């Protein structure tokens, strides 16, 4: 047993502290948060290896003596290991997870800028920051690295692995590539990225590449490609929201700061004009994002997302999906246009057709793809 595992097993339950996610919700403080460095090189699917791989992770609750109460939560594109901060309501009493009974682990994805090895890390083999030379790390590569971390904790089997969007991709790959280690998986709002999704990701990528400050990925920390990353995030944001939600929230209102879209040229010339409210909102979201995220990390994870397709290189779905032993539950979101509910349902049915226990439920929400984060209480109700 490692020092870290001792700390975890010895520690009490995650403590709750007042949070900022909404009335009645609380942000949970992890039992432990830290780094795990893999002993071995990680051989990636793309053929390259990563040395000295660090996984940053957070745990909540306590691992029981039998080590059979572990749950793995997988995060989405710009998420972090602190699942208690971004998904607190699934820990509510009677919800999906219980800090009294579960030992919840969340591991930052490789390629991210939240603690695990990514493009901003130093390559121990060269002593230089990876930057644009950071390789393609697949979802399956992530799962293999995560499994090594669980090995170090003495956890052989997960009661549940779950996630939405990119997190759902990881959850499914767990069931395919470590079938004997997963009892149940909950896969929310995801299917292999559609042509529209690939297109949206491509345009986000271009937005960053077009920023002269990107410097082909060799930008200086003090001069990152802010405008490009902000625009990428704004394109992404549109795909996470439904048109109905935007109409309801913003409509055709002028920006709430008083700009006038019909007005004379006080906002940078007659070609531009005052912003509508939705434009002000998107600009604000872009600004918030560049304060917390890194452009190369964004590019790395977009590529991880794009290339995920469990059937890639296989001739039949059965060949792949029949490996699964876990019981799967899929959730589609009624207003999601990035991963439309029909695509999620179709994907779930294809897996069930391979003899896997898989059910599909639909969450009714106007929030779009984001609903699994924006309407957590609704999600919990659906899952109960």
- Which residues of this chain interact with a copy of itself, rule CB under 8 A? 45-48, 119, 132-136, 192-196, 198-200, 202-203, 205-207, 209-212, 216-217, 227-228, 231, 234-235, 238, 243, 246-247, 249-252, 261-265, 268-273, 275-279, 282, 296, 299-300, 303, 306-307, 309, 312, 337, 340
351, 324 contact by CB (below 8 A): yes
Nearer to a copy of itself, 238 or 377 (CB): 238
Torsion region of 85: left, alpha or beta (phi above 0 gives left; psi -120 to 50 gives alpha): alpha
Nearer to a copy of itself, 133 or 378 (CB): 133
Round to whole Å and give the CA distance between 125 and 164.
Answer: 34
Nearer to a copy of itself, 68 or 306 (CB): 306
Nearer to a copy of itself, 33 or 133 (CB): 133
Min dist CB 212 to a copy of itself, Å, is 6
Q: Which residue has the tokens 């790959």?
A: 173
Q: Which of 141, 277, 294, 336 is catalytic?
A: 336
Q: Which of 116, 165, 239, 335 is catalytic?
A: 165
Q: How far apart are the first and last CA of the chain?
A: 35
Round to whole Å and give the CA distance between 58 and 219.
Answer: 30
202 flagged as catalytic = no
Q: Which residue has the tokens 């591991």?
A: 107
333, 369 contact by CB (below 8 A): yes
Round to whole Å and give the CA distance between 279 and 287.
Answer: 12
- Residues 12-37 as b or e (16 or more Cβ within 10 Å = b): ebbebeeeeeeeebbbbbbbbbbebe
Q: Annotate 117-129 with three-state secondary structure.
A: CCCCCECCCCCCE
Nearer to a copy of itself, 93 or 221 (CB): 221
94, 384 contact by CB (below 8 A): yes
336 flagged as catalytic = yes
Nearer to a copy of itself, 36 or 134 (CB): 134
Q: Which of 141, 329, 369, 370 is catalytic?
A: 369
369 flagged as catalytic = yes
89, 376 contact by CB (below 8 A): yes
Closest-CA residue to 87 (of 146, 170, 166, 21): 21
Min dist CB 244 to a copy of itself, Å, is 9
| Catalytic residue set | 165, 336, 369
């Amino acid at each position: 047993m490692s020092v870290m595992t001792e700390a975890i097993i010895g520690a009490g339950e995650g403590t709750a502290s007042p949070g900022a996610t909404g009335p009645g919700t609380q942000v949970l403080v992890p039992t432990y948060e830290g780094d795990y460095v893999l002993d071995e090189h990680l051989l990636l699917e793309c053929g390259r290896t990563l040395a000295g791989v660090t996984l940053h992770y957070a745990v909540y609750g306590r691992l029981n003596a039998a080590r059979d109460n572990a749950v793995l939560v997988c995060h989405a594109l710009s998420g972090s290991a602190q699942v208690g901060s971004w998904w607190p309501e699934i820990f509510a009493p009677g919800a999906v997870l219980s800090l009294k009974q579960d030992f919840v682990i969340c591991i930052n994805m490789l390629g991210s800028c939240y603690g695990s090895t990514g493009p901003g890390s130093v390559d121990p083999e060269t002593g230089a920051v990876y930057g644009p030379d950071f390789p393609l790390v697949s979802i399956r590569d992530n799962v293999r690295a995560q499994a090594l971390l669980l090995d170090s904790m003495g956890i052989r089997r997960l009661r549940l692995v779950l996630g939405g969007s990119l997190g759902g991709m990881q959850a499914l790959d767990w069931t395919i590539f470590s079938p004997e280690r997963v009892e149940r998986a909950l896969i929310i709002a995801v299917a292999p990225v559609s042509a529209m999704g690939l297109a949206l990701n491509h345009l986000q990528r271009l937005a960053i590449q077009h920023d002269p400050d990107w410097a082909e990925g060799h930008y200086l920390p003090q001069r990152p490609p802010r405008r490009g990353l902000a625009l990428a995030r704004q394109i992404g944001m549109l795909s996470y929201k439904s048109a109905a939600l935007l109409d309801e929230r913003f409509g055709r209102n002028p920006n709430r700061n008083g700009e006038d879209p019909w007005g004379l040229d006080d906002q940078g010339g007659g070609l531009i004009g005052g912003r509508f409210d939705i434009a002000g909102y998107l600009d604000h979201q872009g600004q918030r994002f560049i304060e917390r995220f890194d452009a190369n990390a964004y590019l790395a994870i977009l590529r991880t997302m794009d290339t995920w397709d469990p059937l890639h290189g296989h001739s039949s779905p059965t060949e792949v999906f029949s490996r699964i032993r876990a019981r799967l539950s899929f959730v589609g979101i009624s207003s999601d246009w990035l991963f439309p509910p029909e695509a999620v349902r179709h994907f779930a049915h294809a897996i069930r057709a391979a003899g896997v226990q898989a059910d599909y439920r639909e969450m009714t929400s106007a929030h779009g793809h984001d609903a699994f984060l924006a309407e957590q209480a609704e999600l919990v109700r659906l899952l109960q």
